[in-house]
């Protein structure tokens, strides 16, 4: 038995891997970038896409000569959508793989698990997809948010759109009980109150994974809204929209930005027609716009055996953000340091790799890369941009002085 | 008789690990802390399932109670971690007794379902009481502070190491004592036990409370080591993972808990290179263990030892006494 | 609540309850026959939905898809029973519980990797336009599900009562040793009980797919199925149906009456109360209370 106990200690020590030699992630001919995201578990469609989009960008950049004569090498770790695992992932990346910078294509809770550690270490941490507020507030020099915008911004745009595009006076909100949908619902309610002195006529919640929305829809129907704002996941939206039709609800649906995705149309089919929402990217996969067609062809060439539903929005977000990070590294020059990268990123203004991405702007005051969203509507089974522009300035940057 | 040499081994192991960890970076130290937290949880579960024979699918819920209670005590009332974690554990143990009162009258799948139901209830409670618990957004854990100094990775590792050693030591002594005999007795022969005048129900209930107490400690430790907790960390997957620790390690023995938890904590790390297939491979390896070593890794050791010894005298290494 | 609303909710409750009933049935049958509780049953349902997806994408007509899914489910069950369950059927109960759960995880993992996690969907056989009658709206798919559940239930009851294999199964569930002595091949009975249960589970997946989409998380249905089985009593076929429909109705009504915040608590509190006071459910055989 005592030998077994010692064997157990040995097993424990097996989790230990000898530390690598001293490096800061930059050698004469390579820059090593770390990344984490969920590639196992129910959120795998986010992490796998984030990884693939990022790696595609890196491949293109390296093929075009790299960054100031150096090739980019990426190490990707699974975070399983869990803060415990995300922390393990970034510790490994920073301490064992000795990466120069870390990109997060993970969800909010996982990223929050890693944020304190990354702040402590000072390694540049570029968050592409997670929308947790902790990334940009309180301000930390080495943290940047790329593709996803601030939750409050969603509220601002949604509230304005619902009141001006739909000219709605009665707005119903259905939101799921998870961080992202709840934040969207809260932010929208908040801005409806502060900007338009309006309250939603009804706010109902549902659980992520619910398969039946009859109770909630019945309540919504009673309140007789002009438009129904739905914040959840594509699978739930599809069921809810179908059931709404069955119950005789005629109101149009407005969905949160994570549902502005071809997946919604695949799941909801004809019930999705006429649905609107805001997108983080100018064109969705499947769009006929020439820039998207070209990009998708390049993607399919790189990943010929990917399952249906790919590429998705996360491929594009990570792709665009990787280019932003690379641009920062390029502008920092051949003598590449952490400070140099941060300084270069803060100088980026309205940069994007091409029409398939939205522009990023950072400054020394704030590291919120994206405040612009693109309004879209489902027309003939395809998400197409809608002619609408916001006329109100965002309140968000006011607190960064 | 049995307590002497294993205690020395334990002390040696503690010193060795403590010294080794001082030389390592925070990544392996963090992983070892997590593994030891798993060991503490596994020990508790093994007392309940392996020794007293009661299946439980809600072990992680008691970890949740310990984690959230200690975190909230520190965050809202400023209670330092070295008090809030034990208090959280007591709370967890009380909840365990509360559940155990009705649940320990159930057997087999009914007990499994009752514990599953309890787990769901705790999950929903955490998610719905979001003003207090942070709900699905999770809860940041205040940094552990001692004498005004924030404890770093190594300091927290030592705390976890100490608690783990204590858990092993107390569990071993417990099992060697009358309590341990009662636990095994109610599993092996409840009728005989009852006939001897020992209240089977009381013993089973005590087992629930004990297991929950260990889980509560593990939960509190996890909170300060990771720094962030959310309900998913304490969901069905976590409970099932803990069951796999004791099934793979060996049910009914502390060594089984230690070995199972250590090996299965190391396995995901070893599977990192396989990326998105790691879950699949982990499950396959688990199934392989279940098919070929259904009584746990400790039996592997016995098979090896028996073959090496080749003696006529019966080796009385009883896994489940 | 108006009578119309109450009826409309009842329709919704019964239709979702029929799915729970099928899942409960799929759980009860092997438990009755061999005492094995299949915790991976949820993933069998997922497997059925995805089989339906693949077959539909091959442009096969619906009746062929239906038969195909049932057959695939049965074959899958036989394979699993042979390769994975048989070796461990003699091990402690806990091991079996974990093993069935692990098998479920394997199936789910394989599906996730092959298909990705983005939602897919297939259409019901009768379209999705609601049938309006007497001021109530009926989803044709829900009606179809109800009809299929009723047919399956009758089929299973008839199977157990009139066929040789069915009677053999009942004999084995009462006393396997005596059954063996009577010349019944117990292993064959086990294998067929698995095959039937996985076939029913797969069918449930195909039936429910038009309502909830095709995605790897369908397996969560098992929680409701287990609750239904407890309500009905783990050893009763009609009990599983009654249990399933009850869970569906309770869920739908409590959603409206209590609000969705704590709606999900109701099934589990109900479960706990039942287990404490009447674990054999409505129709099950009462267990002799041991110490």
Per cent of chain B over pLDDT 90 is 52
pTM, to two decimals: 0.86
Q: Are B188 and B252 in contact (CB under 8 A)?
A: no
Q: Is the pLDDT of residue B220 over 80?
A: yes
Query: pLDDT of C268-280, one tens digit each?
Result: 888 888 888 877 7
Q: How far is A160 from chain C (nearest CA, A)?
A: 28
Confidence of residue A7 (pLDDT cuts 50, 70, 90): low
Residue-level length of chain B: 321
The mean per-residue pLDDT over the stretch B173-200 comes to: 90
Q: How far is C119 from chain A (nearest CA, A)?
A: 6
In 3D space, the residue among B263, B241, B247, B211 whose CA is nearest the CA of residue B319 turns out to be B247
Q: Is the pLDDT of residue B3 over 50?
A: no
pLDDT confidence of residue A170: 94
Tokens 């179908």 sit at which residue? A242
Q: Is the pLDDT of residue C88 over 80?
A: no
In 3D space, the residue among C29, C40, C78, C61 whose CA is nearest the CA of residue C195 turns out to be C78
Residue A143 CA to its chain's centroid (Å): 15
Q: Which helix (H) or strand (E) holds B6?
A: helix B4-22
Work out how many CB contacts closer than 8 A connect B with C.
Answer: 106
Confidence of residue B209 (pLDDT cuts 50, 70, 90): very high
Q: How far is B82 from chain C (nearest CA, A)?
A: 34
Q: Which of A33-42, B304-313, C187-196 has the lowest mean pLDDT?
A: B304-313
Give C61's contacts (C-beta < 8 A, 6+ positions apart).
none
Query: pLDDT of A158-177, one tens digit each?
Result: 999 999 999 999 999 999 87
Residues of B in contact with A181 (CB under 8 A): none
Query: pLDDT of A324-382, one tens digit each?
Result: 999 999 999 888 999 999 999 999 999 999 999 999 999 998 899 988 889 999 998 88
Q: Which of B197-201, C28-32, C90-94 has the lowest mean pLDDT?
A: C90-94
Most confident of A336-350, B101-115, C127-141, C179-193: A336-350
Q: Which helix (H) or strand (E) holds A155?
A: helix A151-164
Residues of A with CB under 8 A from a CB of B: 1-9, 11-17, 19, 39-41, 44, 48, 76-78, 81-84, 87-88, 91-92, 94-96, 108-109, 112-113, 116, 177-179, 182
Tokens 């002390």 sit at which residue? B11
Which of C10, C109, C118, C267 to mutate against chain A (most A CBs within 10 Å)?
A: C118
Q: How far apart are CA A188 and CA A202, in angstroms?
A: 13
pLDDT confidence of residue C290: 43
User: What are phi and psi for residue C59, nearest 5 degrees?
Assistant: 65, 30
Q: Which of A9-23, A252-266, A279-293, C24-38 has the lowest mean pLDDT?
A: A9-23
Q: How far apart are CA C52 and CA C209, in angstroms?
A: 8
Q: Are A47 and A106 in contact (CB under 8 A)?
A: yes
Question: Tokens standing for B269?
Answer: 């790390």
Most confident of A294-303, B100-109, B246-255, C54-63: A294-303
The mean per-residue pLDDT over the stretch A305-332 comes to: 90
User: What chain B residue is nearest to C260 in terms of C-alpha separation?
Assistant: B128
Chain mean pLDDT for chain C: 83
User: What chain C residue is nearest to A307 in terms of C-alpha separation?
Assistant: C115
Q: Is the pLDDT of residue C84 over 80?
A: no
C189 or C135, higher pLDDT: C189
Phi-psi region of C259 (alpha: psi -120 to 50; beta: other; left: phi over 0): left
Give the angle subtended at the CA of B241 by the CAs of B236 and B242, to the nearest 5°. 100
Per cent of chain C over pLDDT 70 is 93
Q: Are C230 and C247 in contact (CB under 8 A)?
A: no
Q: Are A281 and A313 in contact (CB under 8 A)?
A: yes
- Distances from the Cα of A309 to the Cαs of A271, A312, C21, in angstroms? 18, 6, 32
Query: pLDDT of B231-240, one tens digit each?
Result: 989 988 899 8
Strands C136-138 and C131-133: antiparallel
Residue among C87, C94, C275 minimizing CB distance to B113: C275
Q: Is the pLDDT of residue C286 over 70?
A: no
Q: How far apart are CA C19 and CA C227, in angstroms?
A: 13
The mean per-residue pLDDT over the stretch A45-60 comes to: 94
Strands B145-146 and B139-140: unpaired
In 3D space, the residue among C2, B226, C45 whose CA is nearest the CA of residue A112 turns out to be B226
Query: pLDDT of C208-229, one tens digit each?
Result: 888 888 888 888 888 888 889 8
Q: What is the DSSP code string of B241-274?
A: HHHHHHHHH-TT-HHHHHHHHHHHHHHHHHTGGG
C220 lies within 8 A of chain B by CB: no
Give A69's contacts (C-beta < 8 A, 6+ positions apart).
A29, A334
pLDDT confidence of residue A22: 38
Helices within A305-398 (DSSP H only): 313-331, 338-346
Q: How far is A228 from chain C (nearest CA, A)?
A: 18
Chain mean pLDDT for chain A: 88
Q: Is the pLDDT of residue C105 over 90?
A: no
pLDDT confidence of residue A277: 94
Residue among C37, C105, C271 minimizing CB distance to B283: C105
Query: pLDDT of A195-219, one tens digit each?
Result: 999 999 999 988 877 777 888 898 8
pLDDT confidence of residue B306: 80
The mean per-residue pLDDT over the stretch C169-197 comes to: 85
pLDDT confidence of residue A21: 36
Q: Which DSSP letter does residue A306 get?
A: P
Q: Which helix (H) or strand (E) holds A31?
A: strand A30-37
Question: Tokens standing for C155?
Answer: 């089929």
Q: How far apart are CA B87 and CA B95, in angstroms?
A: 12
Q: Report CB contact under 8 Å: A16, B32.
A: yes
pLDDT confidence of residue A63: 95
pLDDT confidence of residue A112: 92
User: What are phi and psi for residue B155, nearest 5 degrees?
Assistant: -65, -45
Q: Is the pLDDT of residue B184 over 70?
A: yes
C276 lies within 8 A of chain B by CB: yes
Q: What is the DSSP code string of chain C?
A: --HHHHHHHHHHHHHHHHHHHHHHHHHHHHHHHH----TTHHHHHHHHHHHHHHHHHTT--HHHHHHHHHHHHHHHHHHHIIIIIHHHTTS-HHHHHHHHHHHHHHHHHHHHHHH-SS-B----TT-SPPEEETTEEE-HHHHHHHHHHHHHHHHHHHHHHHSHHHHHHHHHHH-HHHHHHTT--HHHHHHHHHHHHHHHHHHHHHHHHHHH-B-GGGGGHHHHHHHHHHHH-TT-HHHHHHHHHHHHHHHHHHHHHH-HHHHTHHHHHHHHHHHHH-TTTTTSPPPPP--
pLDDT confidence of residue A348: 93
Residues of C in contact with A48 (CB under 8 A): 116
Q: Is the pLDDT of residue C117 over 80?
A: no
Which value, in Å, is the radius of gyration of the alpha carbons in chain C? Answer: 19
Interface confidence (ipTM) of the complex: 0.86
Query: pLDDT of A105-144, one tens digit each?
Result: 998 889 999 999 999 999 999 999 998 888 998 899 999 9
Question: Tokens standing for B64?
Answer: 């949740």
Which of C117, C247, C272 to mutate against chain B (most B CBs within 10 Å)?
A: C272
Q: Are B256 and B101 in contact (CB under 8 A)?
A: no
Q: Is the pLDDT of residue A241 over 90?
A: yes
First to last CA, chain C: 47
Q: Are A358 and A372 in contact (CB under 8 A)?
A: yes
């Amino acid at each position: 038995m005592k030998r077994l106990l010692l064997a157990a200690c040995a097993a424990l020590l097996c989790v230990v891997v000898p530390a690598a030699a001293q490096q800061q992630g930059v050698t004469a001919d390579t820059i090593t970038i770390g990344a984490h995201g969920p590639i196992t578990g129910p959120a795998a469609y986010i992490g796998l896409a984030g990884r693939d989009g990022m790696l595609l960008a890196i491949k293109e950049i390296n093929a075009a000569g790299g960054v100031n004569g150096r090739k980019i090498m990426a190490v990707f770790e699974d975070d399983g959508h869990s803060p415990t695992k995300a922390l393990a992932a970034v510790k490994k990346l920073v301490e064992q793989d000795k990466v120069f910078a870390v990109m997060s294509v993970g969800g909010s809770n996982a990223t929050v698990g890693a944020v304190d550690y990354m702040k402590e270490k000072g390694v540049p941490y570029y968050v592409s997809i997670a929308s947790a507020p902790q990334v940009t507030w309180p301000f930390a020099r080495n943290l940047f948010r790329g593709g996803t915008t601030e939750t409050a911004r969603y509220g601002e745009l949604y509230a304005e759109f619902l009141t001006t595009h739909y000219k709605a006076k009665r707005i119903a909100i259905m939101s799921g009980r998870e961080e992202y949908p709840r934040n969207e619902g809260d932010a929208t309610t908040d801005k409806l109150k502060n900007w338009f002195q309006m309250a939603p006529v009804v706010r109902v919640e549902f659980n992520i994974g619910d398969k039946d929305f009859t109770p909630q829809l019945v309540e919504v129907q009673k309140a007789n809204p002009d438009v129904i704002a739905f914040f959840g996941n594509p699978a739930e939206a599809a069921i809810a929209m179908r059931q709404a039709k069955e119950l005789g609800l005629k109101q149009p649906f407005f969905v949160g930005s994570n549902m502005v995705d071809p997946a919604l149309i695949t799941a909801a089919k004809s019930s999705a027609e006429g649905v609107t929402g805001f997108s983080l990217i100018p064109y969705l996969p499947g769009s006929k716009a020439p820039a998207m067609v070209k990009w998708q062809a390049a993607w399919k060439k790189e990943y010929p055996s990917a399952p249906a539903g790919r590429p998705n929005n996360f491929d594009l977000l990570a792709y665009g953000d990787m280019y932003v990070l690379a641009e920062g590294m390029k502008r920092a020059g051949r003598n590449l340091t952490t400070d140099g990268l941060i300084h270069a990123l803060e100088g980026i203004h309205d940069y994007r790799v091409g029409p398939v991405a939205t522009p990023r702007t950072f400054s020394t005051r704030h590291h919120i890369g994206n405040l612009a969203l693109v309004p879209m509507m489902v027309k003939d089974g395809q998400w197409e941009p809608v002619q609408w522009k916001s006329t109100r300035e965002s309140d968000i940057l006011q607190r960064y002085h | 008789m049995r307590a002497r040499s294993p205690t020395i081994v334990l002390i040696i192991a503690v010193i060795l690990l403590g010294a080794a960890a001082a030389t390592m970076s925070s990544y392996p130290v963090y992983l070892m802390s997590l593994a030891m937290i798993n060991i503490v949880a596994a020990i508790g579960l093994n007392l309940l399932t392996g020794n007293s024979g009661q299946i439980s699918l809600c072990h992680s819920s008691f970890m949740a109670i310990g984690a959230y209670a200690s975190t909230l005590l520190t965050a809202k009332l400023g209670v330092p971690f070295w008090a809030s974690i034990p208090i959280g554990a007591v709370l967890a143990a009380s909840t365990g007794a509360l559940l155990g009162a009705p649940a320990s009258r159930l057997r087999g799948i009914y007990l499994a379902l009752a514990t599953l139901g309890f787990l769901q209830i705790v999950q929903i409670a955490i998610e719905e009481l979001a003003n207090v618990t942070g709900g699905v957004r999770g809860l940041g854990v205040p940094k552990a502070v001692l004498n005004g100094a924030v404890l770093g990775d190594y300091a927290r590792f030592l705390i976890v190491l100490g608690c783990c050693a204590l858990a092993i030591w107390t569990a071993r002594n417990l099992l060697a004592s009358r309590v341990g005999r009662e636990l095994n007795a109610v599993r092996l022969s409840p009728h005989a036990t009852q006939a001897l005048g020992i209240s089977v129900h009381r013993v089973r209930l005590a087992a629930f409370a004990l297991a929950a107490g260990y889980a509560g400690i593990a939960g509190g430790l996890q909170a300060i080591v990771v720094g962030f907790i959310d309900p998913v960390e304490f969901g069905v997957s976590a409970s099932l993972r803990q069951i796999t620790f004791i099934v793979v390690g060996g049910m009914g023995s502390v060594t089984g808990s230690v070995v199972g938890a250590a090996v299965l904590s190391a396995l995901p790390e070893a599977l990192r290179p396989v990326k998105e297939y790691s879950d699949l491979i982990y499950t396959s390896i688990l199934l392989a263990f279940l098919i070929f070593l259904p009584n746990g890794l400790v039996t592997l050791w016995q098979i090896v030892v028996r073959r090496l010894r080749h003696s006529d005298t019966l080796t009385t290494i009883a896994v489940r006494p | 609540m108006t009578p119309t609303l109450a009826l409309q909710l009842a329709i919704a409750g019964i239709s979702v309850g029929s799915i729970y009933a099928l899942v409960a049935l799929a759980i009860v049958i092997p438990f009755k026959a061999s005492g094995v509780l299949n915790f991976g049953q949820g993933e069998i349902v997922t497997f059925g939905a995805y089989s339906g997806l693949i077959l539909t994408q091959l442009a096969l007509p619906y009746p062929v898809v239906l038969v195909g899914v049932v057959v695939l489910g049965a074959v899958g069950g036989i394979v699993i029973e042979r390769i994975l369950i048989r070796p461990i059927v003699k091990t402690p109960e806990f091991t079996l519980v974990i093993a069935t759960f692990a098998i479920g995880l394997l199936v789910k993992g394989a599906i996730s990797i092959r298909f990705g996690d983005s939602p897919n969907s297939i259409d019901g056989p009768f379209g999705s336009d609601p049938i309006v009658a007497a001021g109530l709206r009926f989803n044709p798919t829900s009606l179809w599900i109800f009809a299929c559940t009723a047919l399956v239930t009758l089929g299973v009851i008839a199977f157990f009562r009139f066929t040789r294999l069915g009677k053999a199964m009942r004999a084995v569930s009462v006393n396997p040793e005596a059954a063996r002595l009577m010349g019944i091949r117990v292993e064959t009975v086990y294998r067929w009980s698995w095959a039937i249960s996985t076939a029913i589970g797969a069918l449930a997946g195909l039936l429910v797919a038009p309502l909830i989409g095709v995605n790897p998380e369908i397996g969560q249905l098992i929680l409701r199925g287990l609750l239904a089985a407890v309500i009905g009593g783990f050893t009763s076929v009609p009990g599983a149906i009654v249990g399933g429909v009850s869970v569906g109705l309770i869920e739908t009504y409590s959603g409206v009456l209590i609000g969705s915040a704590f709606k999900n608590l109701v099934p589990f509190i109900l479960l706990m109360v039942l287990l404490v006071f009447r674990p054999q459910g409505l129709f099950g055989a009462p267990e002799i209370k041991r110490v």
